[in-house]
């Protein structure tokens, strides 16, 4: 019960912002004495602090506001993407404490070399946090593919060419992490959804759908304020929704998957002829997107026709997700965000027309987190252990 109440208090303060002890007691449905005890214990572990004077408008001495304390613990996220590594640290207040990105062709490396590079990137960041008196409470790794969460193994990641890679144990060993530091590996899109949800900072936003595109398409789902992973951690594989039974064969072996319509490669095939440099997969995706935008700016008719069809096909797939999940917000990421200024408005209009009869219209947004989205979400997710059990945090030095 003690751990449960500490967790409830800390999560409530992190989600809803500063409260007086009396207001916290009322919000949690506990006595003022219990709320004061919870605040005192959380404060001993450097998880909350009392600061600004708080007036309720009545007579008498003003009280203190209890807020999450961002000075003592942090979560760290590390993304392993096909062509870059990114690491981010955030504190309990959601502030980004550190970030670092290294552009590297991960897909061209053996798993051991890729994990060496990942450890070399995040190791100095962890050292910097400790030097500043901040305790890393967890490290969440993110990548795409099929993940065995319990074992910490990437079972299969087609884009990296990985099969049965024990990511968690290998990263832990390389960094020399003690057992008291929680380490996990999660879906990149799921963690990006966590980051997008946190970026809003709105307690009323509890339902969000994040959809990201590159060569494939994936999603992350926030429901009731928490990430939905599915029975085997494989939720969000929306790229394989069968939306075009008469279409082309997908790399998964099925026919007419959504990503065969809206994946970057599929759109490029409609915009170009065989042998066009835009089809060269050895060229990093950001450079190919830049080239496509250059052609659009030059009024290339085939490129414009391909984008117009993208709007249609993207709307179709998003409509399925919206009808199924009823989100408040849909966020576009990946290459969809890179062309968001071109597609967001027509997609939003088309979605509004489709949803109007149901009496609710979803908000469509474009991600602004870029290459740091999954790593940032991982950093937020890596705070979950201490949010679940605040007693894991070491007592703060006085």
Q: How many domains does the chain divide into?
A: 3
Residues 6+ apart with CB under 8 A from 91: 70, 71, 73, 74, 97, 134
Domain shared by 316 and 349, yes or no: yes
- pLDDT number for residue 183: 97
Residue 108 counted as domain residue:
yes
Q: Which residue has the higher pLDDT, 49 or 251?
A: 49
Residue 398 counted as domain residue:
no
Residue 398 confidence (pLDDT) above 70: no
Residue 61 confidence (pLDDT) above 80: no
Average pLDDT taken over every residue of the chain: 92
CATH code: domain of residue 12: 1.10.10.10
| Tens digit of each residue's pLDDT (9 = 90 or more) over 372-396 | 999 999 999 999 999 999 999 998 8
- pLDDT number for residue 283: 87
pLDDT category of residue 371 using cuts at 50, 70 and 90: confident
What is the pLDDT averaged over residues 159-183?
Answer: 92
pLDDT category of residue 53 using cuts at 50, 70 and 90: low
| Tens digit of each residue's pLDDT (9 = 90 or more) over 267-312 | 999 999 999 999 998 888 889 999 999 999 999 999 999 999 999 9
Domain shared by 43 and 187, yes or no: no
- pLDDT number for residue 231: 83
What is the pLDDT averaged over residues 183-194?
Answer: 96
Q: Which domain holds residue 45?
A: 2-68
Q: What is the pTM of this model?
A: 0.91
CATH code: domain of residue 119: 3.30.420.40
Residue 62 confidence (pLDDT) above 80: no
Residue 370 confidence (pLDDT) above 90: no
For residues 324 and 341, give the distance between their C-alpha atoms in angstroms, rounded to a whole number: 26
Residue 61 counted as domain residue:
yes
Residue 397 counted as domain residue:
no
| Tens digit of each residue's pLDDT (9 = 90 or more) over 220-243 | 999 999 999 888 778 898 999 999
Cα 350 → chain centroid: 26
């Amino acid at each position: 019960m003690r751990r449960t109440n500490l967790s409830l208090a800390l999560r409530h303060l992190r989600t809803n912002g500063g409260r007086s002890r009396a207001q916290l007691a009322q919000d949690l449905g506990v006595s003022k004495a219990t709320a004061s005890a919870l605040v005192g214990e959380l404060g001993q572990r450097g998880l909350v602090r009392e600061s600004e004077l708080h007036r309720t408008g009545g007579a008498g001495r003003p009280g203190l506001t209890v807020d999450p304390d961002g000075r003592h613990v942090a979560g760290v996220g590390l993304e392993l993407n096909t062509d870059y590594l990114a690491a981010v640290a955030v504190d309990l207040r959601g502030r980004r404490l550190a970030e670092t990105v290294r552009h590297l062709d991960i897909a061209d490396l053996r798993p051991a070399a890729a994990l060496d590079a990942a450890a070399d990137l995040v190791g100095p960041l962890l050292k910097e946090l400790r030097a500043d008196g901040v305790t890393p409470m967890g490290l969440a790794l993110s990548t795409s593919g099929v993940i065995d969460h319990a074992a910490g193994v990437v079972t299969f990641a087609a884009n990296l060419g990985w099969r049965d890679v024990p990511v968690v144990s290998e990263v832990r060993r390389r960094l020399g992490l003690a057992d008291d530091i929680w380490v996990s590996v999660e879906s990149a899109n799921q963690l990006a959804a966590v980051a997008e949800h946190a970026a809003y900072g709105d307690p009323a936003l509890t339902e969000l759908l994040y959809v990201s595109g590159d060569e494939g398409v994936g999603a992350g789902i926030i429901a009731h304020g928490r990430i939905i992973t599915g029975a085997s951690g494989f939720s969000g594989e929306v790229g394989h929704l069968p939306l075009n039974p008469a279409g082309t064969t997908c790399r998964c072996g099925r026919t007419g998957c959504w990503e065969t319509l809206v994946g970057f490669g599929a759109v490029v095939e409609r915009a170009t002829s065989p042998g066009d440099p835009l089809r060269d997969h050895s060229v990093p995706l950001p450079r190919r997107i830049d080239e496509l935008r250059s052609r659009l700016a030059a009024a290339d008719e085939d490129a414009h026709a391909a984008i117009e069809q993208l709007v249609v096909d993207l709307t179709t797939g998003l409509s399925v997700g919206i009808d199924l999940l009823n989100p408040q917000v849909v966020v576009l990421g990946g290459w969809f965000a890179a062309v968001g200024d071109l597609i967001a408005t027509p997609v939003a209009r088309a979605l509004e027309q489709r949803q109007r009869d149901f009496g609710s219209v979803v908000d469509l947004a474009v991600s602004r987190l870029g290459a740091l989205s999954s790593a940032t979400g991982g950093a937020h997710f890596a705070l979950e252990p201490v949010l679940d059990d605040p007693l894991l945090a070491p007592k703060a030095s006085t």
